[in-house]
Chains A and B, each alone.
Chain A
């Protein structure tokens, strides 16, 4: 049976869902657990076609509660397990992800955001930011990547498996419906050829040896009896999260050095934002662009000096202020005014952004 799905590098023209399936294969993912939901379905479709050829597994569960918990189980067994979902499925999965957070389990979830709330549309949105970053009953000790292109979708899906196992926090790739269904050129590659070594996985249960005699039994728990006990465990996890956050944080900037207007966006919308900045620059306006690649941990530190220098900040998102709130929290104490171009569940074009900038006289 073949083991390496990609040798070296290959150019391809494919949909985002296909990219995710290839990335998971290339990353050496062992098994996917999933429940159908649009716009994520084709990740499962491609995976079920390719996985048997490379000795990888798949189980279609009865719902997302089950898919999330089965992924937890796969991870406990020491496998590079993952799942993918969207919208109401993402809601159901939070129960399992809260457990993964508590137990520091390296789960990987690819979220293909669709319109919300509730079932809403199956098309597109950026409204699952709050849910994905903070959706569980807990403190949101997660890593959330927001890719903007198919190349990044490939890269960050692979990276998600590595970050999850390296830092041991639930890790999410927060894509969206447009990325899922859109075709664009992409370079797919074997991680090794780019010097990426996959973090080793290790089982947390089912270890060799007779438990109680040859080894300590694994007694993993998610329940604590005493306030003090829980507090201690949580503070340890929070400290670990805070200490790795600077290594995990990623962001992208363009034309920021002298920017008077700083446009902030994430995911596919950032492509329109970047293009809008280019147009504004052509017209002689000092616009710049900042994109958080990790939404959790949020890269507030690198953003603060740029925001402090700017005269105005514009947050552009296909949600009603989910990113804007993160930005404002991160910029607390900085007096630069923040405006939002907020279009929940709607795609955003560069022309709209440029027009909005002129109309509101932000520059």
Chain B
């Protein structure tokens, strides 16, 4: 008798909404799987609030058996910070694309990092604005063609791709956890996300994880070219690894500031 082998899905995944709504070959599903497994491993499903942005991340609004808020483009982090400040016992996850994190929501990211907000931020870096049809993103690689850089991104005109984890690592106070993983290594990615959630649970500081991800739809790539882009071209520019761990002193001249009255 043939036994149908079901793929293992994290417990926290909401089966009624599967198969999910992302395009075939999309990296979002893999990142959400890593997140689901991390939540399972920590046993925090009951007190986790999931927030997603506009952008393809919004397609995850009913992805989990978690209380979920889908909010405005770039504003996910402040919404989750608002929840966390009001109910510190909750674990909040802010999930968004690189556009939401580094362009329209950059001020929120910088401010949250500076405040060391107790949130876990996961940014899916697919080098494009996917949902709106493939325009340039803050992470578009030099020379990469998009709908608004039809002749290839000219870094001289539009700047160099933003290095999110490096940015957060440079400004966050001690206690922060910052890493960059990739959908090409789901075990490591899950480990990073789990550490990021743990950091919040232990009240140490902000956790920021960027995940290198794929968008075959807007890259116009087949499976082989998609993986080559993620594994070779993206990782050449965006190094994988941990940039800050909570027990480590931040680089530069960041120091704990003693509280002072006005």
Contact = CB atoms under 8 A, between A and B. Distances in A.
A52 B72 CA distance: 33
Given A62-B138, A118-B72, A36 B150 contact: no
A60 B134 CA distance: 13
Given A60-B158, A62-B138, A38 B132 contact: yes
Interface string A37-66: 110010011001100100000111111100
Contacts of A119: 54, 72-73
Nearest to B75: A88
B135 A60 contact: yes
Interface in A74-122: 88, 118-119
A36 B148 contact: yes
B148 A44 contact: yes
A48 B147 CA distance: 8
Interface residues of A, number: 21
B103 A62 contact: yes
Most buried by B among A48, A52, A58: A48
Contact of A60 (B54, B72, B133, B136): B136
A209 to B, nearest CB: 30
A35 interface: yes
Contact of B106 (A37, A38, A62, A118): A62
B103 A41 contact: no
Interface string B147-158: 111110000011
A44 B149 CA distance: 10
A41 B74 contact: no
A52 B151 contact: yes
A56 B227 CA distance: 36
B73 A88 contact: yes
B150 A48 contact: yes
B218 to A, nearest CB: 12
B104 A62 contact: yes
Contacts of B103: 35, 61-63
Category for how many chain B residues contact A: 20 to 34
A58 B138 contact: no
A59 B138 CA distance: 12
A185 B161 CA distance: 41
Nearest to A92: B104
Most buried by A among B74, B103, B138: B103
A115 B116 CA distance: 36
Contacts of A45: 133, 135, 147-148, 150
A37 B100 CA distance: 12
B106 A41 contact: no
A37 B148 contact: no
Contact of B74 (A44, A48, A61, A63): A63
B106 A60 contact: no
B129 interface: yes
A69 to B, nearest CB: 14
Contacts of B102: 62
A63 B73 CA distance: 10
A41 B135 contact: yes
B136 A63 contact: no
A36 B132 contact: yes
A67 to B, nearest CB: 10
Interface in A225-253: none
A52 B151 CA distance: 10
Interface in B143-190: 147-151, 157-158
B138 A36 contact: no
Given A44-B135, A62-B103, A36 B129 contact: yes
B158 A59 contact: yes
B90 to A, nearest CB: 24
Most buried by B among A36, A63, A88, A118: A36
Interface in A3-37: 34-37
B20 to A, nearest CB: 20
A34 B150 CA distance: 15
A183 B89 CA distance: 54
Interface of B: 54, 72-74, 99, 102-104, 106, 129, 132-133, 135-136, 138, 147-151, 157-158
Counting from the closest, the 10 A-B pairs by CB-CB distance are A63-B104, A62-B103, A36-B132, A36-B135, A45-B147, A48-B148, A36-B129, A49-B150, A60-B148, A44-B148
18 contacts: A35-B103, A36-B132, A36-B148, A41-B133, A41-B135, A44-B147, A44-B148, A45-B135, A45-B148, A45-B150, A48-B149, A48-B150, A60-B158, A62-B103, A62-B106, A62-B138, A63-B104, A119-B54
Interface of A: 34-38, 41, 44-45, 48-49, 52, 58-64, 88, 118-119
Given A36-B133, A48-B148, A58-B148, 5 more contacts: A48-B150, A60-B135, A62-B106, A63-B104, A88-B73
